[in-house]
Amino acid sequence: MTTDAVSVSRRDRRRRLGSYVALTKPRIIELLLVTTVPVMFLAEGGVPSLWLVLATLVGGSLSAGAANTFNSVYDRDIDRLMHRTSNRPMVTGEVSPRNGLLFGAALTVASTVWFLALVNVLSAVLSLVAIALYALGYTVVLKRRTSQNIVWGGVAGCMPTLIGWSAVTGSVGWPAVVLFLVIFFWTPPHYWPLSMAFRDDYSAAGVPMLPVERGPVAVGRQIVLYSWLMVVASFSLVPVADMGWVYAGTAGLAGALFVVEAHRLLRAARSGLTGTALRPMRLFHYSITYVTVLFLAVALDPLIHVAIG
């Protein structure tokens, strides 16, 4: 084989590997892991075993990758119709549906075995539940049938809080449940602004996202409602987990900015603005900052308790 042929072969392998990685939606996985590790610090009341953290992160990545892969396979028809998803591997043909399903199944088995062998049984069970909720509950049942798809389908994205806690304690405690609710209420005001920005895409694909089914004002009201519920849930962690001033102050400041931005979006909608003029992506981008900062405070607060106590 010539040098040029070897070089082409390597490029093909790298491209194929990149296509499979793309099926797992790494950026979504990053966000899920942001909510896993801080919960482990909270459950430990300090710094958990670094090996356990690594094992949980690997298992969580495999699990989320499996769920996202199944989603990519099932949604390939509507992804083809939407501009922002038209280059995904299932659409371009880089990966066949059969190979995509096999890859998703392999990741499911790998994540389950990994959790069973290196973490614990409860974390393995919760991981499987998360895959089922996203791949079946959201992708197959809800996404194409109801405008509330992201509300109930978003439960899968809340599971890392339970998995992180169970990895440390072997159980599910009330602090983990509270943080589960924070992510549950955070998901709609995180995702609906994105849906507003890409409303035409979802409409063309026949996906009944709330901004497709309802006007900007109605969507804005829902975003404000869930934003307030999210903030209230975040503050309930203070008495439940005996959180200190670091977490309370962060939850207050970050939550206030979130609510202000949600109300700004509603005011813009009420003024008659539509589409990109609403600037919905401002809230979408801030929502990522919010959850990152809040969960960082979840991790730091117990460390500070240990340091001064």
The model's pLDDT over 129-184, given as tens digits with 9 standing for 90+, comes to 999 999 999 999 999 999 999 998 889 999 999 999 999 999 999 999 999 999 99
How much is the pLDDT for 8?
47
Task: For residues 70 and 133, give the distance between their C-alpha atoms in angstroms, rounded to a whole number.
Answer: 11
Q: Say how many domains are in the chain.
A: 2
Q: Which of 108, 121, 238 is nearest to 169 (CA)?
A: 121
How much is the pLDDT for 29?
77
Q: 121 and 186, same structural domain?
A: no
For residue 258, the enclosing domain spans 173-309
How much is the pLDDT for 104?
97
Q: 305 and 211, same structural domain?
A: yes
Task: For residues 112 and 97, give the distance between their C-alpha atoms in angstroms, rounded to a whole number.
Answer: 23
Kindly report the CA angle at 291 between 170 and 230, in degrees rounded to 5? 90
How much is the pLDDT for 142?
93
Q: 283 and 179, same structural domain?
A: yes
Q: 208 and 307, same structural domain?
A: yes
| Residue 159 within a domain | no
Q: 192 and 138, same structural domain?
A: no
CATH of the domain at 59: 1.10.357.140
| Residue 6 within a domain | no
Q: 270 and 183, same structural domain?
A: yes
Q: For the chain, give the DSSP string.
A: --HHHHHHHHHHHHHHHHHHHHHT-HHHHHHHHHTTHHHHHHHHTSPPPHHHHHHHHHHHHHHHHHHHHHHHHHTHHHHTTSGGGTTSHHHHTSS-HHHHHHHHHHHHHHHHHHHHHHS-HHHHHHHHHHHHIIIIIIIIIITTT-TTHHHHHTHHHHHHHHHHHHHHHSS--HHHHHHHHHHHHHHHHHHHHHHHHTHHHHHHHT---HHHHS-HHHHHHHHHHHHHHHHHHHHHHHHHHT--HHHHHHHHHHHHHHHHHHHHHHHHHHTT--GGGG-THHHHHHHHHHHHHHHHHHHHHHHHHHHH-
How much is the pLDDT for 303?
87
Task: For residues 181 and 158, give the distance between their C-alpha atoms in angstroms, rounded to a whole number.
Answer: 8
How much is the pLDDT for 126?
97
Task: For residues 157 and 145, give the distance between their C-alpha atoms in angstroms, rounded to a whole number.
Answer: 19
Which residues of the chain are under the pLDDT cut of 50?
A: 5-6, 8
274 φ/ψ angles, rounded to the nearest 5 degrees: -140, 170
Q: How distant, in Å, are the alpha carbons of 46, 191, 294 from that of 256?
A: 28, 19, 12
How much is the pLDDT for 7?
54
CATH of the domain at 287: 1.20.120
